[in-house]
């Protein structure tokens, strides 16, 4: 059975738009037979990395900081897929960055050159083969999520595993109105579920599926009007 671990970095945890998108993705993975475990960075007590490289040079593979990351490491080690789920905070919420920095002990402290770049790789006891991104933003264009996409892709390449694609949802807040999912919101979440299924069944998500998820829901001028109406300056 494929095992996936999700790290949701939204400070709004279960109440956030990222969780709203993440839930059907998890359901899709489960429908296709995956075992999925989720961590909310906000609910974990995770100290920031001290940069002493203890996990590389003193005790390779072991983080000396005794906090909630110690219960995340074993799950990461036995997972085939790591899903990074995050809102865009130009670029990441602090909670998410903290967890990502603390993934250093999963990596072998020996550098290699691959395709002209200095890279490392996951330790042999880390099963992760694929990294996937699920990201939401509030602004109009899909390109607002490019920085986060770059981070997730770079992270996968640094660890020498496949970057298996990104579920990107710009202006995610428009999927709900007065707390209820809109028709478009429901349709997008159906596609998200499909993406989760495809990831497990085919090993990758279809381009059409991902494009449908990321599609504009209204035109840009209308978004500006709706967004700016509630903003005080």
Ligand X SMILES: Cc1cc2nc3c(=O)[nH]c(=O)nc-3n(C[C@H](O)[C@H](O)[C@H](O)COP(=O)(O)O)c2cc1C
Binding site for ligand X (CB under 6 A): 10, 12, 16-18, 87-90, 136-139, 144, 170, 172-173
- Please, which residue, 128 or 133, has the CB nearer to ligand X? 133
Least Å distance between CB 162 and ligand X?
Answer: 25
Nearer to ligand X, 42 or 63 (CB): 42
Closer of 93 and 196 to ligand X (Cβ): 93
Question: Minimum distance between the CB of residue 75 and ligand X, rounded to whole angstroms?
Answer: 21
Tell the smallest beta-carbon distance from residue 102 to ligand X (Å).
20
In terms of CB distance, is 93 or 105 closer to ligand X?
93
Q: How far is the CB of 44 from ligand X (least distance, A)?
A: 16
**Both tokens assigned to 133:** 């991104």
CB of 171 to ligand X, least distance (A): 7
Three-state SS annotation for 24-38: HHHHHHHHCCCEEEE
CB of 12: closest distance to ligand X in angstroms? Answer: 4
Retrieve residue 180's tokens.
């209820």
Instruction: Name the nearest CA neighbour of 87 among 162, 176, 21, 182.
Output: 21
φ, ψ for residue 103 (rounded to 5)?
A: -85, -5
- How many CB atoms sit inside 10 A of residue 189's CB? 21
Q: Which letter does DSSP use for residue 89 in this model?
A: S
Q: 153 is written with which tokens?
A: 């892709």
Counting beta carbons within 10 angstroms of the beta carbon of residue 128, is it exposed (0 to 12), middle (13 to 18) or buried (19 or more)? buried
Q: Which is nearer to ligand X, 97 or 136 (CB)?
A: 136
CA distance 210 to 200: 15
Query: Taking CB positions, which residue lies at the least distance from ligand X?
Result: 16
Query: Which CB atom, from 16 or from 105, has the smaller least distance to ligand X?
Result: 16
């Amino acid at each position: 059975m494929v095992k996936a671990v999700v790290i949701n970095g939204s400070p709004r945890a279960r109440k956030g738009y990222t969780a709203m998108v993440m839930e059907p993705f998890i359901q899709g993975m489960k429908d296709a037979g995956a075992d999925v475990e989720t961590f909310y960075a906000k609910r974990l007590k995770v100290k920031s990395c001290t940069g002493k490289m203890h996990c590389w040079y003193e005790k390779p593979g072991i983080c000396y900081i005794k906090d909630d990351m110690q219960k995340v490491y074993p799950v990461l080690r036995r997972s085939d897929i790591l899903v990074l789920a995050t809102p865009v905070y130009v670029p990441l919420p602090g909670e998410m960055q903290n967890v990502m920095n603390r993934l250093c002990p999963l990596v072998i402290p020996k550098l290699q050159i691959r395709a002209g770049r200095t890279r490392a790789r996951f330790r042999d006891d880390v099963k992760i083969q694929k990294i996937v991104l699920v990201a939401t933003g509030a602004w109009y264009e899909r390109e607002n999520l490019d920085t986060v996409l770059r981070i997730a892709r770079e992270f996968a390449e640094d660890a020498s595993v496949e970057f298996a694609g990104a579920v990107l949802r710009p202006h995610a807040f428009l999927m709900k109105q007065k707390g209820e999912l809109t028709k478009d919101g429901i349709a997008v979440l159906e596609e998200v579920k499909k993406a989760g299924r495809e990831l497990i069944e085919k090993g990758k998500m279809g381009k059409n599926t991902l494009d449908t998820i990321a599609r504009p829901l209204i035109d840009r001028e209308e978004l500006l009007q709706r967004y700016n109406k509630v903003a005080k300056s």
